[in-house]
Structure 1
Amino acid sequence: MTASQDIISLSNPVLLEKVDKLRDLNIGQHVPLPQLVVVGDQSSGKSSLLESLTGIPFPQDQSLCTRYATQITSRRHNKDSVDVRIIPGPRALEEHRKHVEGFHRQVPSNLEFRKQFVDILKTANERMGIRADVSSGSGTVFSEDVLKIEICGPHEDYLTIIDVPGIFRTTTQGTTKNDIVMVKNLVKRYIKDRRTIILAVLPSNVDIATQEILELAEEFDKSGERTLGVLTKPDLVLEPSAQAAVCDLVQGKKRPLNLGYYLVRNRGPNSGLEGHSELDKIFRKHPWADLPRDRVGIVALKEQLKSLLVAITQREFPALLREIVSQIAECRREFNSLGSPRQDEREQRSFLCQIAGAFQERARAALTADYGADSVFDQDELRLITHVVNITDVFNADFHENAHSLNFEKLGRSEPSEEVEMLSDYDGVRKASSIISDLRTLIKKANVGVLWSKEFVELSEIVTLGNTPMPMPRDNFSEWINGIYLKSRGLDLGTFNANFIATAFAEQSRKWSEITKIYMRRIIVTIHRFIAAALRSVCSEEQVRTQVWEAILQHLVKCYKKAMDQVDVLVEVEHRKKPYTLNRQFAEARSKARGYRATEQLYPKARKDTKQFGETQYVVNLDDVAKVAEGKNNMEQLQEDIHDILHAYYSLAANRFIDNVFQLAVDYCLLHGPSSPLKVFTQDWVINLKAEQLERMVGETKATKKRRSGLAKKIADLENALKILVS
């Protein structure tokens, strides 16, 4: 048997007592509770009806008429007692809550309570802040607090009824239009819940069409399934036609309700001490005598109310239990989403350290491509190292294809249908052109070449947006060398000035700075977006995230600037220093160039020699080899030497420069080095923050504090309610 089935199997009094305990905890503000609510216009006979149902002599004094909801509970007990308390309204401030919860009156007998009731009401009104004189004085006219009266005794029947202030349409002395609205809203709040039985009190001597309470009930109970009409003051209905109209209501012939109408007579303000049996004698007379006996009189109504309360409680208990469990889970999720409380410096520092630790874990996973560590890496901006590698590969290809001012000569010759290797340091990149093309598409899709408006403001002093297309390398290398040489030659004997290579290299590498800064801009934008996305993924509170971002932004910009400065140094070194290298590949490249040139001149004089298995070799005459360099003047020889030296050195310098840019500017300055922007937001940084910085950055707003406190209380209330239900 389930917990809800166990509860339903309990006896009715125990079941109803559990609901009353939930009502005492004000659980009704979170989940609707099974209840009977008495509603009606002022002067509809509500107070007299309540006295008939509960035995409590509600006063007719205007200053003590119902100004708040009153919960009246009667239960059977071996001793007489009446307990009176105040349940704070759902929106009560903490100070008012404590003030009214301190009110408690306990009277040893029902008889004694009836004598003290008026004085108890006056004291309760004062505690709630209700104005003693409606027409003047301080305080309010109506309150959202609830007066709870619990009557116990050996002859009491188990019943709980809630009375709410009577609806009124025009202001009287001391009341305002705001009071009219407040009372109507209070009534709506009680009758809107699907587990509420609405006891609509209607005076029989007034046309039912003028009674607003039925229209109000119909607004929330369109089918009339939970509205019960209580017709009062039948002794004032004298006209036969009016009496017939009342009988039609009770018999369901006019404006029917599923729960029907009951006709009752209560004591009037000038009545004596007549009992129910004396008051009900009127129902023996025409036309009331023709009405069903179970539809007239207080006794019949009271029995029906007890049955209705038990029935709705038994029916709704399983759903009530599920709703409370569901709301506890929902509140806990929201409470956890607020993070750790941060009321003081210790809590604030701990809270921000947790965020910083989570951020560093994101950065670690992103740098190692450990994307399976968290589904959050499905977000493209968080795949940092992948983007960096892709951008770097494209930079490497672009640099080799377009960073030089003039194209070097292509040395070598090939026969038709037979390809001969040509001197080229970037053939490998060209073979992977399809891959590079795909990478270019990815980079374009990532939009790292375009700054968003916010990024432009943040990074404007670091990266510049140049839309001027990069000029393609020119092909007139020999003419260019010849022009420079003729402008700088001196007295030489088939040689050239060493400074000439430096001048030529500076011109050939003139675009290095611009093309490298395009690369660095893409890397910086990628890292900047990663940091923003990673921060969003570990910090859900926008206000905290904004404060942290503003606090670290200046540090981030410094890191980016340091990387850009490193690029400037690398470019400056390559442009300003004299070309020099100890790399053995320089000599090998020059030797290879000479070999290609000699081969090119010997090729027309070579003959084919086919050996065994069809292998073809080329054979040249040694005398031809000796004459290979004949016929070239000094200028031609110098141009070839300058070309081959510059080509060999440029190729080595370009590869060295690309490596240095990645290793020193990107990897060291931006990714893994101690000054990496990824290491700005760390737990050490949080620990070194001053208290006022912490408060400004992560101190909880009043709204968050209020929400956290409200959720904590709601969780506690609901958990207590759950204990009551399953105990």
Structure 2
Amino acid sequence: MASISARINGYNNNQDDNSIRLMNKTYTEHTAKYIQLVSSMETKFAEDFVELPKVVFCGNQSAGKSSLLEAIANVQIRMHETPEASSWECKISLRVEYDENNKPLPDARRENIWFGEAIHDPSDVESMAYRAQKALLNPSKSSDLYLNHDRSKEEKDEIEFTMNTVCLSITGPNVPNLSLVDLPGIVEHIKNATPKVSRILVAMIKRLTRNYVEKPKAIIVATIPCDSEDEHQGIHNIINEVDPHKNRTVFVLTKPDRIEEKTHGKWLPKLEDSSGPDYFVVMNPNQAKLIKGVTFIQAREEEEHWFKNTQPWCSSNFQDRLGVKRLRTKLENLLIEKIRESVPKLTDEISNRLMEANGKLNELPPPPANAQFEINRVTNMCENKLRHKLNTVTGLNNGNDNLWEKIREQLNEYNMLIENERPAFVLTSFFGGVRETLLVDLLQNIPAANRNETYSSIIVTPMEIVNKHKHSLRSEAFIKQTTKVKDIIDQSR
């Protein structure tokens, strides 16, 4: 399990009454700049010293929050349904801040890793986000190994849960200006886990949720299924602690079609109370419709039709709280207001940090006039000290260099061992074309009896291919082969 963060910058070129309105073009462009500001600061880990506003989706497991986020982000719309869709784009990155034990990494090891190329078909987002999560759950492997991961060939993950985040940066027409986070659903036990492991994972999920929602500038979107037996469990307990007055919490009721007839009294008073916390109701497609490939536009039209023709919703006095479109506008306005309020403090905090950094830089000595000379000087100094130490310990005089000869021989042997483990690249035919591959990759697919003959007949490419095709170095076979080098290094210590 891993959380998903989405930064979405939208613009609206369609002003038809049936389209999704994001306010007028000037205001939309203005608000997009606020989101771009927050996005830029997030990628530079500015949250280490200043809080950045964002919308946090949370709730119990199976509450419908991930479907709600997809609906808000408009990631299911098909490319041919809008003439501006060619400019829609989603970039995925991995925000790595914790190690495999979910302990914070030192600043030097924290990073944002781009995951694959930009996505231009929104229908591909879900599968790529899933692969990105798999990459985070297998931290010892290169993330590139999961770019084409086959979901039908499931393998056990190295870890069950990570505090690290999959980040989605989305730009395009008719998408909102929002910065969103989708957290794992809160559960009370983990299926197929031992009691001890279950307790640990449940505690981690709750800790992750609390870490996000307790921040004063976080806008909390708490999803509650209308068929929930007890609305005061799980996420409610956390919200009551971090936002007791519900000043920054929006409750979203999902699956309203599951409310039994004449039992709406549990929810209607909350929606009618304009002085209390904000409540919205949404109706997203069920699993059967998703499998059939229902589009975003179809889903929103069906939702609108359902609310207009179903009691008690069609005759209610809270029409402004029904549907994804109205919820989206509400969240966008809340977030932009939070960012606008934060800009002066952000500016002051960044200025102070910049002054502090410049002060530390000014304390550094001036750079040497001749850097190469300084490197040689320090290297020679180190060598002379080492010689002196060895001569002192062994009693060698300047005329006896037997020890140095032995050291030189061992170093030469060490270099030979490393050189022998250098991966060999070959040219092979692949579906009618030619591709570069590692020799070890090739030999793995050849019967043992034929390997010697194959090895002698292949064409070994020059090492320049390593520089031209660095992505080949990411292959799992290459990683396995280079572990032999590590073994040699360990043995030489």
Q: TM-score, normalised by structure 1?
A: 0.39
* Counterpart in the other structure of 2:133: 125
Q: Return the structure number with greater relative CO, CA threshold 8 A, min gap 6.
A: 2
The match for 1:105 among 113, 117, 120 is 117
TM-superposed deviation, 1:338: 11
* Counterpart in the other structure of 1:220: 242
* Counterpart in the other structure of 2:95: 88
Q: Percent identity?
A: 23
- Aligned pair in 2 of structure 1 residues 248, 177: CA closer, same or farther (>3 Å)? same
1:68-100 CA-partner distances (Å, limit 9, x unpaired): xxxxxxxx9885242332242333558996896
Contact 2:119–2:125 (8 Å) recurs in 1: no
Contact 2:88–2:172 (8 Å) recurs in 1: yes
* Counterpart in the other structure of 1:152: 171
Counterparts of 2:267 and 2:305, CA distance in 1? 17
* Counterpart in the other structure of 2:422: none
The match for 1:262 among 274, 280, 297 is 280
Q: Are 1:324 and 2:350 matched, yes or no?
A: yes
Instruction: Please state whether the residue corresponding to 1:11 is helix, strand or coil.
Output: helix
Letter in 1 for 2:260: L
Letter in 2 for 1:125: Q
Instruction: Please state whether the residue corresponding to 2:223 is helix, strand or coil.
Output: strand
Q: Are 1:279 and 2:303 matched, yes or no?
A: yes
Instruction: Please state whether the residue corresponding to 2:257 is helix, strand or coil.
Output: helix
Contact 1:100–1:127 (8 Å) recurs in 2: no
Q: Are 1:177 and 2:189 matched, yes or no?
A: no
- Aligned pair in 2 of structure 1 residues 691, 169: CA closer, same or farther (>3 Å)? farther
The match for 1:302 among 310, 322, 328 is 328
Query: Counting strand residues as a fraction of each chain, which structure ranks higher?
Result: 2
Contact 2:222–2:250 (8 Å) recurs in 1: yes
Counterparts of 1:301 and 1:48, CA distance in 2? 14
Letter in 2 for 1:129: L
* Counterpart in the other structure of 2:413: none
Counterparts of 1:138 and 1:13, CA distance in 2? 38
Contact 2:224–2:251 (8 Å) recurs in 1: yes
Contact 1:159–1:306 (8 Å) recurs in 2: yes
Instruction: Please state whether the residue corresponding to 1:169 is helix, strand or coil.
Output: coil
Unaligned runs of 5+ in 1: 1-7, 59-75, 341-345, 351-688, 693-727
TM-superposed deviation, 1:190: 1.1
Q: Are 1:204 and 2:223 matched, yes or no?
A: no
1:163-222 CA-partner distances (Å, limit 9, x unpaired): 111111112125632211211111111112111100111111214543321221222223
- Aligned pair in 2 of structure 1 residues 133, 177: CA closer, same or farther (>3 Å)? farther
TM-superposed deviation, 1:308: 0.9
Matches within 5 A, 1:587-606: none
Q: Are 1:245 and 2:266 matched, yes or no?
A: yes
Counterparts of 1:334 and 1:133, CA distance in 2? 53
Matches within 5 A, 1:414-563: none
TM-superposed deviation, 1:130: 4.2
Instruction: Please state whether the residue corresponding to 1:105 is helix, strand or coil.
Output: coil
Counterparts of 2:35 and 2:199, CA distance in 1? 38
Contact 1:158–1:306 (8 Å) recurs in 2: yes
Contact 1:22–1:28 (8 Å) recurs in 2: yes
Contact 2:90–2:125 (8 Å) recurs in 1: no
The match for 1:162 among 181, 188, 193 is 181
Q: TM-score, normalised by structure 2?
A: 0.56
Contact 1:200–1:229 (8 Å) recurs in 2: yes
Counterparts of 1:19 and 1:263, CA distance in 2? 29
Counterparts of 1:337 and 1:91, CA distance in 2? 32
Instruction: Please state whether the residue corresponding to 1:171 is helix, strand or coil.
Output: coil
Contact 1:31–1:320 (8 Å) recurs in 2: yes
The structure with more radius of gyration: 1
What is the aligned-residue RMSD (CA, Å)? 4.1
TM-superposed deviation, 1:107: 2.3
State how many pairs are aligned.
319
1:379-438 CA-partner distances (Å, limit 9, x unpaired): xxxxxxxxxxxxxxxxxxxxxxxxxxxxxxxxxxxxxxxxxxxxxxxxxxxxxxxxxxxx
Contact 1:280–1:297 (8 Å) recurs in 2: yes
Letter in 1 for 2:284: N
* Counterpart in the other structure of 1:592: none
TM-superposed deviation, 1:129: 3.2
- Aligned pair in 2 of structure 1 residues 233, 327: CA closer, same or farther (>3 Å)? same
1:599-633 CA-partner distances (Å, limit 9, x unpaired): xxxxxxxxxxxxxxxxxxxxxxxxxxxxxxxxxxx
TM-superposed deviation, 1:301: 0.5
Letter in 1 for 2:312: P
- Aligned pair in 2 of structure 1 residues 122, 229: CA closer, same or farther (>3 Å)? closer
Contact 1:250–1:291 (8 Å) recurs in 2: no
TM-superposed deviation, 1:237: 0.6
Unaligned runs of 5+ in 2: 1-26, 78-82, 100-104, 140-150, 367-373, 379-383, 388-493
Contact 1:205–1:236 (8 Å) recurs in 2: yes
Instruction: Please state whether the residue corresponding to 1:173 is helix, strand or coil.
Output: coil
TM-superposed deviation, 1:34: 1.3
Contact 1:77–1:152 (8 Å) recurs in 2: no
Counterparts of 2:306 and 2:268, CA distance in 1? 14
- Aligned pair in 2 of structure 1 residues 40, 130: CA closer, same or farther (>3 Å)? farther
Q: Are 1:25 and 2:37 matched, yes or no?
A: no
Counterparts of 1:230 and 1:267, CA distance in 2? 16
Counterparts of 2:107 and 2:344, CA distance in 1? 36
